[in-house]
Structure 1
Amino acid sequence: MLESIYEDAAAADRRHNPLNNFIPTLRSGEWSDIGDRLHMEDTHICITDLAQNFGCNLLGEEAISFYGVFDGHGGKDAAQFVRDHLPRVIVEDADFPLELEKVVTRSFMETDAAFAKSCSLGSALSSGTTALTAMIFGRSLLVANAGDCRAVLSRHGMAIEMSKDHRPCCNNERMRIESLGGFIDDGYLNGQLGVTRALGDWHINGLKEISGRGGPLSAEPELKLVTLTKEDEFLIIGSDGIWDVFRSQNAVDFARRKLQEHNNVKLCCKEIVEEAIKRGASDNLTVVMVCFHLEPPPHVVVPRPRFKRSISAEGLRNLKSLLEG
């Protein structure tokens, strides 16, 4: 069991910290919109009990909830394939659920390879997708990300990013890519792709397998595991179209206000998407939200960093000249 790895170290902490004596009560919602695009390439999934969903009876084990957002590019086929296959691959892994982190990483890679085989059966399957999944197991939250979807946790009103955007501008990703023979050109991986990790895209030469080793476009997810406490309010998972117009803290603030108004998780997701459209988002838009309490978030004042703002003498002169015409 995943949680047992951390049980000894956490036991003493729980005795001293009552926040850790917490079992989340899960409520989830989702909403999506085509946005300003001709085709809808986002998709998502919400499964309350992953093992039971696939007929796997884990005696004595707590339910594992599974949530995912998949943002396709070059078509919807890869996103739908990963949505339909990844959960089953996870459940059917021999180490599920005892070594969940290894299982999830391995399952991303296996699902990517399975899609490659499907691609050989039809050119319509030549597409790619980013993938972000969240699994909740007791007090444990495990987020796996390959691409530029993002998961943000609200902890007593503070935004905690549970994933990193895998884009060519990221220095760590650039180093990994260059070590594998790839390059960044004008902000694109090998001059072709705006993300550095994704499943699919096997039809693009030079991005995946190169001489028996992994190519610069990786399907391996980055993982982040946290133990939830009473202060953790909800998790927002959004496709990149959401984060084009929302900063992480801004999304948490917006969601908290809406939940305080009506405490309806699905409606809150809908309102986030609608607000993104109002702000000029042009991409497909998908939001999945998981709340950890039955009650709405409490009213709190979240401290914000205070910045001193100043303008140089030269800036003042330039501003004065602009105002005077």
Structure 2
Amino acid sequence: MGQTLSEPITEKKTTEGNDKRVLYGSSSMQGWRTTMEDAHTTIISYENTGASFFAVFDGHGGDAVAKYSAKELYKKIMESPSFERGRYRDAIRSGYYGIDEALKKDPDFEKDTSGCTAVAAMLTRNNVLYVSNAGDSRAVISTRDGKAIPLSQDHKPKHSIEEQRIRNAGGYVENGRVNGSLALSRALGDFNFKTNTALTPDKQAVTAEPDIIEHLLTDNDEFVVLACDGIWDCFSNQQVVDFVRNKLCEHKSLGPICEDLMDYCLAEKANMAGIGCDNMTVVIIAFLRRRTTQDWYDWMASKPAPPLPIKKAILIAPQ
């Protein structure tokens, strides 16, 4: 689970914003971990594209690739020829691989072995939501009556398709990890697992290949939650959506709700399973759908409040 502190660092970095289409809140917290390796991106509208972009990057082995990706991935996607032509899937895929290509050419990253997950939500000017993912961070949408629908799938080495690719690349899966080391099977960076020169980037043991889900927004869609596994290890998709909707019924705004969710997930003590002990990052994106910000908050507050989720029982490490 990684090294932990004697006391968690609970200071949070929180932002909020909105335009006529979207409303967002985001927050991140180091927690029990000795370092903060998460990063995230929140762009309401990028230059003249009319598109919004939000992403969460969960780093491992250091924070360098996560921080770089937070600053560069949206540019590689939204400044690409494919994006200009409306070929958004191609733009996203080339953007993910473009991060790896740029890192390999950057002398500052020559000896860097870190990597990161990348889950992103891009809303085009035509109100089509593209969610892309590599790794085990996650995106979930709350739609009619607060039903939680996953917009990404976790990439774990034990999954049959992932394990087959790992073995074909000359690697192996041990204790649910690539080569007994890495707990996810797709990521940006992690070049120690991308060394088979006979294979293309999508066939490597660990690949930057993103899954991409396309979703046309409707008036039933309420919000999307992007978060790292520090949140999803604690609660299910539906439980996270229920938590957000419960807090909206208390007339809280999205930034403080992100903070509340992280505090709710935070373990009281370091534990053997690591549940509630990881870095945490949450981004909530609301879809206004011709409503004002206040109208959207009033709309959500008028709905029945689901109960707060029950925390998982955890094993406390012996003192």
TM-score computed with the length of structure 2 as normaliser:
0.79
Summarize the Cα distance change of 1:263–1:301 in structure 2 as closer, same or farther, 3 Å threshold: closer
Aligned residue runs from structure 1 range 173-212, under 5 A: 173-202=162-191, 204=192, 206-212=193-199
Aligned residue runs from structure 1 range 12-31, under 5 A: 25-31=21-27
How many angstroms does 1:182 deviate by? 2.5
Summarize the Cα distance change of 1:121–1:170 in structure 2 as closer, same or farther, 3 Å threshold: closer
Matched, 1:106 2:94: yes
Residue 242 of structure 1 is matched in structure 2 by: 231
How many angstroms does 1:177 deviate by? 2.2
Distance 1:281 1:237 in 2: 17
The counterpart of 2:257, out of the listed 265, 268, 292, is 268
Matched, 1:144 2:132: yes
Aligned residue runs from structure 1 range 3-152, under 5 A: 25-50=21-46, 52=47, 57-58=48-49, 63-97=50-84, 98-118=86-106, 122-123=110-111, 125-137=112-124, 138-152=126-140
Summarize the Cα distance change of 1:277–1:102 in structure 2 as closer, same or farther, 3 Å threshold: same
Which stretch of structure 1 is more off in the superposition, 93-102 or 37-46? Answer: 93-102
Please say if residues 39 and 57 of structure 2, whose CA atoms lie closer than 8 Å, have aligned partners that are also in contact: yes
- Calculate percent identity across the aligned residue pairs: 35
Summarize the Cα distance change of 1:178–1:26 in structure 2 as closer, same or farther, 3 Å threshold: same
After superposition, the C-alpha distances for 1:239-281 in whole angstroms (9 at most, x for unaligned) are: 0110010110000000001012124011111111111114750
Amino acid at match of 1:291: A
Matched, 1:256 2:245: yes
Residue aligned with 1:36, SS: strand
Residue aligned with 1:95, SS: helix
Residue 7 of structure 1 is matched in structure 2 by: none
Matched, 1:170 2:166: no
After superposition, the C-alpha distances for 1:107-142 in whole angstroms (9 at most, x for unaligned) are: 10011111122256543x331111111001232110
Matched, 1:288 2:283: yes
After superposition, the C-alpha distances for 1:147-183 in whole angstroms (9 at most, x for unaligned) are: 0000010012000000001111222222232233322
After superposition, the C-alpha distances for 1:196-232 in whole angstroms (9 at most, x for unaligned) are: 0001111x2x534432433110001000011111111
Summarize the Cα distance change of 1:276–1:145 in structure 2 as closer, same or farther, 3 Å threshold: same
Distance 1:253 1:244 in 2: 16
Amino acid at match of 1:30: S
How many angstroms does 1:301 deviate by? 8.3
After superposition, the C-alpha distances for 1:289-320 in whole angstroms (9 at most, x for unaligned) are: 00113323242488xxxxxxxxxxxxxxxxxx
Coordinate RMSD, CA, aligned = 1.9
How many angstroms does 1:287 deviate by? 0.1
Distance 2:225 2:91 in 1: 23
Distance 1:301 1:92 in 2: 41
Q: Which runs of 5+ in 1 are unaligned?
A: 1-23, 303-325
Which has the larger Rg?
A: 1
Residue aligned with 2:234, SS: coil
Number of residue-to-residue matches in the alignment: 267
Summarize the Cα distance change of 1:139–1:91 in structure 2 as closer, same or farther, 3 Å threshold: closer
Summarize the Cα distance change of 1:127–1:119 in structure 2 as closer, same or farther, 3 Å threshold: farther
Residue 305 of structure 1 is matched in structure 2 by: none
Summarize the Cα distance change of 1:31–1:221 in structure 2 as closer, same or farther, 3 Å threshold: same
Residue aligned with 2:117, SS: strand
Amino acid at match of 1:167: K
Distance 2:62 2:232 in 1: 21
How many angstroms does 1:48 deviate by? 1.1
Distance 1:208 1:299 in 2: 52
Residue 225 of structure 1 is matched in structure 2 by: 214
TM-score computed with the length of structure 1 as normaliser:
0.78
Please say if residues 208 and 217 of structure 1, whose CA atoms lie closer than 8 Å, have aligned partners that are also in contact: no
